[in-house]
Amino acid sequence: MLLHIDSSADPTADSVSRRLTDRFVTVWRAAHRGTARYRHRDLATDPVPPLTAAYTALGRRVEREGFVPPEKVPALLDGPAERREWELTLPLIEELRSAHTVLLGVPMYNFSVPAALKAWIDRVTFPGAFTDPDTGESLLRETRVVAVMARGGGYGPGTPRAACDFQTPYLKAYFGRLGVAPQHLHLIAAELTRVDVLPHLAGLEEQAARSLDAARQRVDALAPALAPTPAAEPPSD
């Protein structure tokens, strides 16, 4: 399954990350028509609720039990508040566990990821949810993650703001700790996306166009290459 998650607050017409993730999906569907499932989650129109005390209480209880798998968590629930938190959390865990490829649209907000995406990350990262209880290995070690990043300015190596890029290292650290293999994490960045509206970026139009074109090329190359696993999946809706 391709799990497509957008986190931009902007509509597609104004969002570079949304246009690039839509492009990825179009190419992916053309390459894998009828062979895999697809799921889209828009964190702007359907936000993930922030964590509550009931979530953290349940998480600590699960940790004390030795990181039990999700199917055993209901036996540890204490009261309706924890049950509600688990009902909000389990579908997100199941989506991520069932995905062969995760496609993220990630605009840079204040040098990092949007709060909408961070809320999804906080909730889905439940203790033990992605650990094989028999081997201790990550259940996501073969999962492919494609993060399409859009940045209004320039944050690449050698630029004045390179040290302000907390987006790239955060995504690398997070998915690495979750168990995604380094070779399965693909980060694509389109930079200078606000060149048409920010006066101080005037004169960088050519660099912006090259960056966007390079991002499109990487999307076009990756989408057909990330084929579903050999095991047959139900056809996409």
Residue 97: its pLDDT value, please?
96
Query: What is the distance between the alpha carbons of residues 193 and 197, in angstroms, rounded to a whole number?
Result: 9
- What single-letter amino acid sits at 61? R
How much of the chain, in percent, has pLDDT values that exceed 90? Answer: 78
Answer for the pair 8, 114: CB distance below 8 angstroms, yes or no: yes
8 among the known binding-site residues? no
Instruction: State the pLDDT at residue 232.
Output: 42
122 compared with 195, residue with greater pLDDT: 122
Residue-level pLDDT at 229: 52
pLDDT in tens, 97-117: 999 999 999 999 999 999 999
pLDDT band at 66 (very low <50, low <70, confident <90, very high): confident
Whether residue 126 contacts residue 52, with contact meaning beta carbons closer than 8 Å, is answered with no
- The response to whether 16 counts as a known ligand-binding position is yes
- Is 166 annotated to bind a ligand? Reply is no
pLDDT, mean over the chain: 92
126 is in an annotated binding site: no
Domain ranges of the chain: 2-225
Which has the higher per-residue pLDDT, 66 or 102? 102
Whole-prediction pTM value? 0.92
State residue 32's pLDDT score: 85
Q: DSSP string covering 57-94, please?
A: HHHHHHHHTT---GGGGGGG--SHHHHHHHHHHHHHHH
Whether the per-residue pLDDT at 233 is higher than 90: the answer is no
Q: Which CATH number applies to 2-225?
A: 3.40.50.360
Question: What's the pLDDT at 70?
Answer: 94
Residue 7 counted as an annotated binding residue: no
Query: Average pLDDT for residues 14-40, to the nearest whole number?
Result: 92
**At residue 203, does pLDDT exceed 80?**
no
DSSP code, position 10: S
Nearest to 185 by CA among 113, 103, 94: 103
Q: So what's the pLDDT on residue 33?
A: 79
pLDDT band at 160 (very low <50, low <70, confident <90, very high): confident
Q: What is the pLDDT of residue 205?
A: 83
